[in-house]
């Protein structure tokens, strides 16, 4: 494996973490003078001076432990042989790292290690990448006088229960790095050492298998292991990689930097990048291990077309497929008008791909009918933060959380949805930051090892705005507003109006208690904590946005931050946790029907002129159709053609039956994807896309960080996605001639003020960069709104609570809310094609014991869930996480039909669907729902039509 410290010859770098101090300490190590920050270990100081002290239990990703005793040194004037990892530098120290006596001790220690270690180096999967092997060489071990027949662990049984890695106790050197990584890096505390003395051995839980333990398979332990004790099964299978390429994970909005470790064009491992600015060497089960989908047998690798969706697919050349699509789309436009076609891009596409899709729609289709899946997740964020602060983006870096004193998590579940950031947040919480959780469910953060929320506002789904108003009420009426900040930074009149509004008695926690179900005492405590507890930061997710008042809640959150002055510096801010890897980027790239790249309205003449000039074409000044409007128009018969890249609307969008009816009503549906997804079952043209490993581009994460996506293997279908869009554009008669995505980025940078200084060269040089990145901020902008808000003065908005139309009634007495789980991602198209299904083979309905009891439901029963929109059937799981009256499910499996039940209700400002509130009834049933039966039949039919494609080919 390639060296990660940049110094060569080691994978654990400096041995101990870097220390920050203004004070420098100067000392002498092996005759060399070195100056390091106070608090630095001797080991790290030595590394800075270019001296590698032998070590096994030390790695710079973990706090020192002092157990291996290889790193002992001599210090002039001090007795004994202190360990360099745990001894801190002192001015004037004279340290020797190599003496005859030290060599003797180190060999003695190594002789002990090897006396209880298998001698199968040549056949070991860590061969060539084993620190024990390296250290045996470094200390010059030549014999093991204890013999090999003494007491040992060589016959220990391997634990192969985890699908991705093995645990071989016989190779364990009890360095505790895995245990410490599980604690310090991941924060799960699943591992310990069992037994003591010679019996000591790593143990998941209480001598359980890894899969039976609390292990979340984040891979931190595997990463930390210096031997092959914890080893990726892919390395065991393929051997050590020969090269690695830095790229960015294709899963959630954390945007972890990874090294794709390769053997030729074979990927053998994905290793989190220590230099990654979003993840600092940490990972989760998805990014680290669940990449097998990229080469899954289900991948479609040939373009396909068909006349109608009941016909078998026909494999054709790229040219034929593109020509066919262009011809049909042009035909539709000729027949039904220019506006009868449109495109949908995805947060899973790169910035460059998304930019090209919206350019294709605006320039080649000649309308603004382009939208993206952010419509159904974070569109209220874009709206709300633009209105209040002036920019549609989160205000901080992830690292900012390490400066936070109070963390408020609203409608987000970071340990499942954004696990790597969740771990960072938990680290800060263990350091003592206070935690407020606003969530209907008892998510893991509410109580997990060494984490406990100070306040849990367990509200009723749909009443977010009342909670925000009640918090604001307390802040205003108890005199906790940061008046100086507000006076200097915010619009006076708007503030006064807001202040008057929230101070009204009807917005008091006591008055709203009956509506939101949160004890007024808890609300008051939370408000005081947020307003007076030091740096306070808000992190929120789709539990905020996916509501009929999603945009109102985003405004309310920004109000809270402004009122308390918690914005514009480290440790504070408003932080939307983006669901998918490129939600931020796809929004930035102008994929909304009303906005050009950089959030400039299509009616803005200056902006439009800029693009018209650059693109050489007249552009429409009217906003186009949003996704739900496209479906409506399709049902009306005015919208007939759709180009969908990387998005599975038939599974992910609400009210599935409505979506599929709309798709069926269209004459040409072009789907570009890795798999024959649910939407593709309604398609007439299928363009096989490329995985994130097969293309170049960039992703922008939740902290506005633009990170590189790098091609590490050839595209299985021969084309990168941007090339396909370009071919289609050319076939439609609008020329595009990019030879590399970097040219697309150059165009984006030219046309977008916040991207002016972004280029591939800059990204390569810096590793990643946070926009705005331009003349004013050539190195990017980690924290926004420091001196003033992007819009000038911050603007408060009055946020009146309007209850959702989705009412709980006798017929539909429960509220269904939806979310996701650690092991799966979005619609599951990727993760369902990996071994992650071992953790979550199906979506289940979580229900409180009280509601279950009333309905005679036992854990594991089939239950029917019926809403005003539809019905589906899932297995029940009875859990105290839920509050009575609220049920919950995930939407990772298409057969679950979670979105068959969700309704057409949406956010008033942005049409973001109200996924989080659906009134339902739940009852015990014995068989799948009618929809599920129809779905199964339709899917089987489509599978058959796909198989018949092969028969066509065979003939």
Partner 1 sequence: MTIKVYVPRDSSALSLGANKVAMAITVEAAKRGASIEVVRNGSRGMFWLETMVEVATPTGRVAYGPVMPEDVASLFECNFLYGGEHHLSRGLTEEIAFLKNQERLTFARVGITDPVSLQDYIDHDGYRGLKNALVMDGAAIVEQVTQSGLRGRGGAAFPTGIKWKTVLNTAADQKYIVCNADEGDSGTYSDRMIMEGDPFVLIEGMTIAGIAVGATQGYIYLRSEYPHALQVLNEAIAVATANNYLGNDVLGSGKSFHLEVRRGAGAYVCGEETSLLESLEGKRGIVRFKPPLPAIEGLYGKPTIINNVISLASVPIIMDKGGEFYRDYGMGRSRGTLPIQLAGNLKQCGLVEKAFGVTLRELLYDYGGGSASGKPIRAVQVGGPLGAFLPESQFDTPLDYEAFTNIWAVLGHGGIVAFDDTVDMAQMTRYAMEFCAIESCGKCTPCRIGSTRGVEVMDKIIEDRDRAANVALLRDLSDTMLNGSLCALGGMTPYPVLSALNHFPEDFGLKKTQQAA
Q: Within 599-658, which residues bind partner 1 (CB under 8 A)?
A: none
Q: How many residues bind partner 1 (CB under 8 A)?
A: 38
Query: Of the two residues 109 and 769, which places its CB atom closer to partner 1 in the complex?
Result: 109
CB of 118 to partner 1, least distance (A): 15
Residue 200 touches partner 1, criterion: CB under 8 A:
yes
Residue 448 touches partner 1, criterion: CB under 8 A:
no
Residue 955 touches partner 1, criterion: CB under 8 A:
no
Residue 778 touches partner 1, criterion: CB under 8 A:
no
Residue 39 touches partner 1, criterion: CB under 8 A:
no
Query: Of the two residues 50 and 108, which places its CB atom closer to partner 1 in the complex?
Result: 108
Query: Of the two residues 153 and 719, which places its CB atom closer to partner 1 in the complex?
Result: 153
Q: Which string of DSSP letters, residue by residue, matches 130-191?
A: -HHHHHHHHHT----TT-SSSS--TTPPPB--SSSEEE-GGG-----HHHHIIIIII----E
Choose, by CB under 8 A, the member of 115, 387, 657, 759 that binds partner 1: 115
Choose, by CB under 8 A, the member of 43, 72, 878, 946 that binds partner 1: 72
CB of 131 to partner 1, least distance (A): 14
Q: What angle do CA 291, 583, 709 make, to 5 degrees?
A: 45
Q: Which residues contact 613 (CB under 8 A, 6 or more apart)?
A: none
Residue 405 touches partner 1, criterion: CB under 8 A:
no
CB of 180 to partner 1, least distance (A): 12
- Using the 8-state DSSP alphabet, how is residue 747 labeled? H
Choose, by CB under 8 A, the member of 113, 639, 734, 755 that binds partner 1: 113
End-to-end CA distance of the chain: 47
Query: Of the two residues 116 and 653, which places its CB atom closer to partner 1 in the complex?
Result: 116
- Nearest partner of 668 among 202, 336, 284, 398, judged by Cα: 336
Q: Which residues contact 467 (CB under 8 A, 6 or more apart)?
A: 438, 457, 459, 512, 516, 518, 523
- Using the 8-state DSSP alphabet, how is residue 87 labeled? P
CB of 150 to partner 1, least distance (A): 5
Asked if residue 83 lies in contact with residue 72, where contact means CB atoms within 8 angstroms, the answer is yes
Considering only 68-76, 567-575, 734-742, 804-812, which stretch makes contact with partner 1 by CB under 8 A?
68-76
E-only strand ranges, 52-101: 74-75, 94-96
Choose, by CB under 8 A, the member of 26, 156, 192, 403 that binds partner 1: 192
Beta pairing class for 844-847 and 871-878: parallel
Residue 329 touches partner 1, criterion: CB under 8 A:
no
Residue 176 touches partner 1, criterion: CB under 8 A:
yes
Residue 948 touches partner 1, criterion: CB under 8 A:
no
CB of 145 to partner 1, least distance (A): 5
Asked if residue 31 lies in contact with residue 44, where contact means CB atoms within 8 angstroms, the answer is no
Q: How many CA atoms lie within 13 A of 585 on its CB side?
A: 34
Query: Of the two residues 98 and 301, which places its CB atom closer to partner 1 in the complex?
Result: 98
Choose, by CB under 8 A, the member of 24, 32, 112, 119 that binds partner 1: 112
Considering only 187-195, 233-241, 583-591, 856-864, which stretch makes contact with partner 1 by CB under 8 A?
187-195
Cis before residue 772, ω within 30 degrees of 0? Answer: yes
Residue 109 touches partner 1, criterion: CB under 8 A:
yes
Residue 76 touches partner 1, criterion: CB under 8 A:
no
Asked if residue 751 lies in contact with residue 614, where contact means CB atoms within 8 angstroms, the answer is yes
Residue 169 touches partner 1, criterion: CB under 8 A:
no
CB of 109 to partner 1, least distance (A): 5
Beta pairing class for 595-596 and 230-232: unpaired
Provide the CA 501 distance to its chain's centre, in angstroms: 37
CA quadruple 165, 169, 170, 173: dihedral, nearest 10: 100
Tokens 């990703």 label which residue?
A: 61
Residue 174 touches partner 1, criterion: CB under 8 A:
yes
Query: Of the two residues 170 and 742, which places its CB atom closer to partner 1 in the complex?
Result: 170
- Nearest partner of 280 among 223, 324, 230, judged by Cα: 223
CB of 10 to partner 1, least distance (A): 19
Q: Which helix (H) or strand (E) holds 456?
A: strand 455-457
Query: Of the two residues 225 and 886, which places its CB atom closer to partner 1 in the complex?
Result: 225
Choose, by CB under 8 A, the member of 64, 276, 380, 782 that binds partner 1: 64
Q: Which long-range contacts (C-beta less than 8 Å, at least 24 apart) are formed by 205-211?
A: 209/159, 209/161, 210/159, 210/161, 210/162, 210/165, 210/167, 211/161, 211/162, 211/838
Residue 83 touches partner 1, criterion: CB under 8 A:
yes
Query: Encoding tokens for residue 104?
Result: 């003797």
- Nearest partner of 15 among 227, 231, 226, judged by Cα: 226
Considering only 85-93, 601-609, 640-648, 757-765, which stretch makes contact with partner 1 by CB under 8 A?
85-93
Residue 8 touches partner 1, criterion: CB under 8 A:
no
CB of 64 to partner 1, least distance (A): 7
Q: Which helix (H) or strand (E) holds 536?
A: strand 536-540
d(CA 157, CA 390): 59
Stretch 124-163: interaction string toward partner 1, x if CB under 8 A: ---------------------xx---xx------------
Tokens 């070991």 label which residue?
A: 124
CB of 208 to partner 1, least distance (A): 17
Query: Of the two residues 179 and 920, which places its CB atom closer to partner 1 in the complex?
Result: 179
CB of 219 to partner 1, least distance (A): 24
Considering only 86-94, 345-353, 476-484, 684-692, which stretch makes contact with partner 1 by CB under 8 A?
86-94
Q: Within 356-395, which residues bind partner 1 (CB under 8 A)?
A: none
Residue 184 touches partner 1, criterion: CB under 8 A:
no
Choose, by CB under 8 A, the member of 27, 53, 88, 602 that binds partner 1: 88
Residue 189 touches partner 1, criterion: CB under 8 A:
no
d(CA 503, CA 473): 5
Considering only 104-112, 382-390, 628-636, 937-945, which stretch makes contact with partner 1 by CB under 8 A?
104-112
Residue 42 touches partner 1, criterion: CB under 8 A:
no
d(CA 328, CA 315): 17
d(CA 671, CA 684): 8
Considering only 168-176, 617-625, 729-737, 748-756, which stretch makes contact with partner 1 by CB under 8 A?
168-176
Choose, by CB under 8 A, the member of 92, 140, 195, 841 that binds partner 1: 195
d(CA 125, CA 165): 12
Cα–Cα separations (whole angstroms), residue 551 to 215, 543, 705, 913:
37, 12, 24, 11
CB of 437 to partner 1, least distance (A): 25
Residue 105 touches partner 1, criterion: CB under 8 A:
yes
The residues with which 243 forms a beta bridge, in sequence order, are 262
Query: Encoding tokens for residue 9?
Result: 């010859």
Query: Of the two residues 15 and 585, which places its CB atom closer to partner 1 in the complex?
Result: 15
Q: How many residues does the chain have?
A: 955
Choose, by CB under 8 A, the member of 193, 245, 323, 790 that binds partner 1: 193
Choose, by CB under 8 A, the member of 26, 35, 86, 532 that binds partner 1: 86
Q: Which string of DSSP letters, residue by residue, matches 348-360?
A: TS-HHHHHHHHHI
- Nearest partner of 660 among 848, 835, 494, 869, judged by Cα: 869
Q: Which helix (H) or strand (E) holds 700?
A: strand 697-700
Query: Encoding tokens for residue 867?
Result: 């809403």
CB of 431 to partner 1, least distance (A): 11
CB of 211 to partner 1, least distance (A): 24
- Interface residues toward partner 1, by CB under 8 A: 64-69, 72, 80-81, 83, 86-88, 101, 104-105, 108-109, 111-113, 115-116, 145-146, 150-151, 173-174, 176, 192-193, 195-200
């Amino acid at each position: 494996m390639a060296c990660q410290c940049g110094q060569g010859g080691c994978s654990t770098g400096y041995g101990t973490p870097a220390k920050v101090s203004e004070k420098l300490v100067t000392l002498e190590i092996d005759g060399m003078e070195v100056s390091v920050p106070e608090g630095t270990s001797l080991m790290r100081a030595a590394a800075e001076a270019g001296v590698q002290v032998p070590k096994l239990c030390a790695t710079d990703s973990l706090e020192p432990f002092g157990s291996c005793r290889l790193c002992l040194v001599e210090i002039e004037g001090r007795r004994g042989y202190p360990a360099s990892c745990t001894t801190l530098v002192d001015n004037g120290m004279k340290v020797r790292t190599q003496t005859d006596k030290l060599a003797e001790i180190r060999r003695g220690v190594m002789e002990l290690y090897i006396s209880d270690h298998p001698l199968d180096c040549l056949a070991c999967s860590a061969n060539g990448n084993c620190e024990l092997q390296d250290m045996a060489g470094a200390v010059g071990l030549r014999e093991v006088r204890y013999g090999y027949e003494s007491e040992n662990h060589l016959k220990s049984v391997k634990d192969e229960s985890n699908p991705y890695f093995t645990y071989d106790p016989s190779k364990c050197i009890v360095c505790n790095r895995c245990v410490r990584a599980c604690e310090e890096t991941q924060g799960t505390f699943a591992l310990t050492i069992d037994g003591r003395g010679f019996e000591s051995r790593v143990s998941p839980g209480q001598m359980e298998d890894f899969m039976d333990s609390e292990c979340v398979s984040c891979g931190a332990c595997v990463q930390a292991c210096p031997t092959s004790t914890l080893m990726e099964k892919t390395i065991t299978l393929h051997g050590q990689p020969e090269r690695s390429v830095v790229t960015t994970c294709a899963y959630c909005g954390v945007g972890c930097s990874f090294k794709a470790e390769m053997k030729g064009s074979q990927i053998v491992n994905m290793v989190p990048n220590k230099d990654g600015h979003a993840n600092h060497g940490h990972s989760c089960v998805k990014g680290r291990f669940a990449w097998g989908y990229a080469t899954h047998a289900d991948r479609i690798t040939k373009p396909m077309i068909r006349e109608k969706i009941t016909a078998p697919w026909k494999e054709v050349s790229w040219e034929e497929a593109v020509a066919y699509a262009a011809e049909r789309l042009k035909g539709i436009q000729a027949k039904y008008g220019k506006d009868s076609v449109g495109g949908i891009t995805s947060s899973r596409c790169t910035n460059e791909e998304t930019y090209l899709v919206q350019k294709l729609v605006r320039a080649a289709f000649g309308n603004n009918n382009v939208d993206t899946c952010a419509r159904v997740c974070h569109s209220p964020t874009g709206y709300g933060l633009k209105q209040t602060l002036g920019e549609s983006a989160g205000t901080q870096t992830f690292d900012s959380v390490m400066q936070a004193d109070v963390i408020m998590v609203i409608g987000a579940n970071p340990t499942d949805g954004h696990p790597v950031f969740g771990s960072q947040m938990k680290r800060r919480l263990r350091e003592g930051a206070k935690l407020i959780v606003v969530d209907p469910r008892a998510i893991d953060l509410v109580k997990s090892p060494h984490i406990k929320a100070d306040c849990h506002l367990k509200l009723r789904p749909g009443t977010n705005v009342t909670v925000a108003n009640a918090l604001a009420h307390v802040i205003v009426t108890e005199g906790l507003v940061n008046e100086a900040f507000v006076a200097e930074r915010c619009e006076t009149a708007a503030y006064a109006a807001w202040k008057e509004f929230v101070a009204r008695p009807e917005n008091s926690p006591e008055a709203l208690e009956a509506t939101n179900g949160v004890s007024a005492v808890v609300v008051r405590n939370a408000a005081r904590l947020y307003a007076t507890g030091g740096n306070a930061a808000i992190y929120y997710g789709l539990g905020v946005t996916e509501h009929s008042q999603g945009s109102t809640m985003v405004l309310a959150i920004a109000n809270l931050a402004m009122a308390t002055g918690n914005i514009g510096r480290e440790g504070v801010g408003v932080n939307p946790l983006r669901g998918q890897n490129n939600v931020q980027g796809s929004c930035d790239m102008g994929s909304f029907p009303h906005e050009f790249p950089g959030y400039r309205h299509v009616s803005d003449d200056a902006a439009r002129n800029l693009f018209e000039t650059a693109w050489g074409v007249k552009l429409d000044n009217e906003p186009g159709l949003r996704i739900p409007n496209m479906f409506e128009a399709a049902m009306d018969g005015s919208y007939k053609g759709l180009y969908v890249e990387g998005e599975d609307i038939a599974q992910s969008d609400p009210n599935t039956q409505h979506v599929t009816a709309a798709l069926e009503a269209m004459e040409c549906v072009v789907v570009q994807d890795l798999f024959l997804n649910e939407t593709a079952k309604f398609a007439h043209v299928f363009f096989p896309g490329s995985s994130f490993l097969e293309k170049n581009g960039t992703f922008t994460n939740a902290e506005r960080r633009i990170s590189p996506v790098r091609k590490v293997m050839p595209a299985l279908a021969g084309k990168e996605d941007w090339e396909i869009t370009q071919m289609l554009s050319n076939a439609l008669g609008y020329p595009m001639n990019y030879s590399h995505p970097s040219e697309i980025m150059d165009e984006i940078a030219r046309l977008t003020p916040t991207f002016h200084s972004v280029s591939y060269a800059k990204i390569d040089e810096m590793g990643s960069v946070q926009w705005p990145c331009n003349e004013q901020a050539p190195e990017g902008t980690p924290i926004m709104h420091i001196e003033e808000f992007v819009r000038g003065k911050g603007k408060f908005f009055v946020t009146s609570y309007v209850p959702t139309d989705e009412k709980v009634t006798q017929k539909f007495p429960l509220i269904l809310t939806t979310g996701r789980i650690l092991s799966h991602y979005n619609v599951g198209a990727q993760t369902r094609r990996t071994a992650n299904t071992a953790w979550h083979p199906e979506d289940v309905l979580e229900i409180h014991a009280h509601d279950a009891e009333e309905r005679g439901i036992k854990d594991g029963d089939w239950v029917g869930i019926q809403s005003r929109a539809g019905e589906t059937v899932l297995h029940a799981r009875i859990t105290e996480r839920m509050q009575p009256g609220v049920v919950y499910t995930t939407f990772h499996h298409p057969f679950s039909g979670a979105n068959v039940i969700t309704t057409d209700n949406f956010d008033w400002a942005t049409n973001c669907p109200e996924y989080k509130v659906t009134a339902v009834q739940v009852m015990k049933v014995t068989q799948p729902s009618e929809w599920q039966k129809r779905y199964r039949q339709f899917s089987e039919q489509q599978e058959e039509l796909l198989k018949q494609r092969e028969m066509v080919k065979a003939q």
